[in-house]
Structure 1
Amino acid sequence: MTGTRLIIWFISVSLAAAGGWYFGQQQKASPQVEATGEVLAVVNDRSIDKDWFVEQMKLRGGLKSGQYHTVEQRQALLDFLINQEVVFAAAQAQGIDEDPAVDRLYKKAVIDRFLEQQLNPKLEAIKVSNAELQNYFDRHQEKYSRPARRRAAIIHVAVSTKADDAMRQQKRARIEEAIQHMDQLEADVMHFGELAKTYSDDRASRYQGGVIGWLINHASRDYRWGRQVTEALFALEKNGDVSPIIETEAGFYVVRLVSAEQVQQKQFEQVQKGIRSRLLQEKRKQARTEFLATFKTQADISINHEMLAAIAPLSAEKTDSNKQPPALPGTAGGQ
């Protein structure tokens, strides 16, 4: 690491340790002073005053018991701060304070401090009332209920799309034969048992009594067996009931209700904490947007859209279908 980069790195670490705003404060010129009164120490023409030293104690664990109770502990902190001043002066002598990288650090420190003073108190003051919580819950009942679902078993006799009427009748006769043997099943068996293994062409379920799992009767849910099968299942009333034969382009189905669960509704008390967090985030996001908008309307902003469009991406395009939006910058800078 070169001397220049080492100094930049040291300044960066020192900035973070000092709370992000120390560098901005040190940019200001200080008059020649002596280490008397409220001034704790002087390094060249810069002073380290008592109040600022106490602030640094707080930032470095001074509120914990046993910290900075001895002069040696306080001297160690003062030595660290003096070292910062010495290195800072050496960096200035080499023009490091004019380096673009340092300028970006300074800008970030100023922005962070500004937001800490001007925006954060506004965000902390935002509250969500109980009435707002209840209103949100009442308007979004469907989000807090699990729809009724049913566990199904099927027998599927597949038919080729090229099959003629005679072949389709032959396939239908096969599933009718399966239904005729239903009385061979044990009374406590709610699925199709061995009949699925003998008659069903659905490989995923035929060795499990035809059981295909839980289905939900909702317009947003599509299953590979088709809506006709789902609708037939939800038309059944009690466990063990069997549907009539269902004819589709893929062949013939018969569906059996294995078990059912009714709609499960969550109570307001169970979800109000999550609702409060959601509404608080939404309010704070809106407050940030409005806060930044007041300054953007006063600024003279010009964008070269052609240049923006011509900038090449740094990585290959994602190939999956679930593309995510690009990452945004962090909170520094008010984004």
Structure 2
Amino acid sequence: MFSKPAVIILLPLVALSGVAAGGCSKQAEGPTAVEEEWPQNGLTEAQANEVLATVGDRTITVGEFADRLASQSPYLRARFESPERRKEFLDNLVRFELLVYEARRRGYEDKPEIKRARRNAMIQQMVKQEIDVPLQESEVTEEEVKAIYDADPAQYNRPAQVRASHILITDRARAQRLLAQAKKADLAGFRRMAREQSQDEKTKRSGGDLQFFAADEEGAPAKAIRDAAFKLAKVGEVYPELIEGGEGYHIIMLTGKRAPLTRTYEQAKRAIRHKLTRERKAAAVAALTERLRKDIDVEIDYEALKALEISTEDTPKSP
């Protein structure tokens, strides 16, 4: 049997209200050197260290309480202006610490998945402070964004596209029989027919999917297939005739449509800016890991990796 944790809740909300109004009366005498080092949420060091609640051996201080409040959105912070709402917020923190206490008592803190989550959180915080913050200070310029847009305008001006699936059959009589069946099939049925009947080894596993393409797009699929697909009006419609090609006869179903896309620079610049920021972040992380590889001994046994046999089938998780 474990001992019940002591839960002592102190509510010096008057002191917190005083902080909002400018602090305790000592501030009237002028800020001390220590106070000048404590601009967080308008609290002095002494105020920040004042204990609001104790849960077992864990204390919740005024400083932590204020930090938690400050981390909320402006809308939520406004909700906690009244003493009643602040009491509710503190009670929630206490409930959280009670659950932490119990999770630790039951050994969850030492579970591998918990340790991985903590390591991931630690890495995320490091990346945020060491990479994200410096990147924000050197923002992507308007000139850089415009240069990206001007370098590849076709990317932001796309013609109409359609998506189609096909069934390839080398024998005409057999293709005609399958065409009659395909006209009665829905999309799922057509894809099933393609997987079972098509003689195009490249696409049959994907249900005959030819992906999206434009009417004048060079390359696969062939022009006759593109022309047939663009004549179809509704998704799920099958072209009424066989399309003859060099490898046999194609049965075509329309599976998707995209309207033309035209984005001006003003419409595209936000997405370009985000893309450049992501690329800079990825480059910064790559540079950091490359430097760490030079500074830290890393040994990898690729031969052992090759010899490793791991089943990809579902296995029961260890307790």
Which of the pair has more CA radius of gyration?
1
- What is the TM-score when the length of structure 2 is the normalising length? 0.44
Q: Which structure carries more helix by proportion?
A: 2
Larger relative contact order, structure 1 or 2 (CA cutoff 8 Å, min sep 6): 1
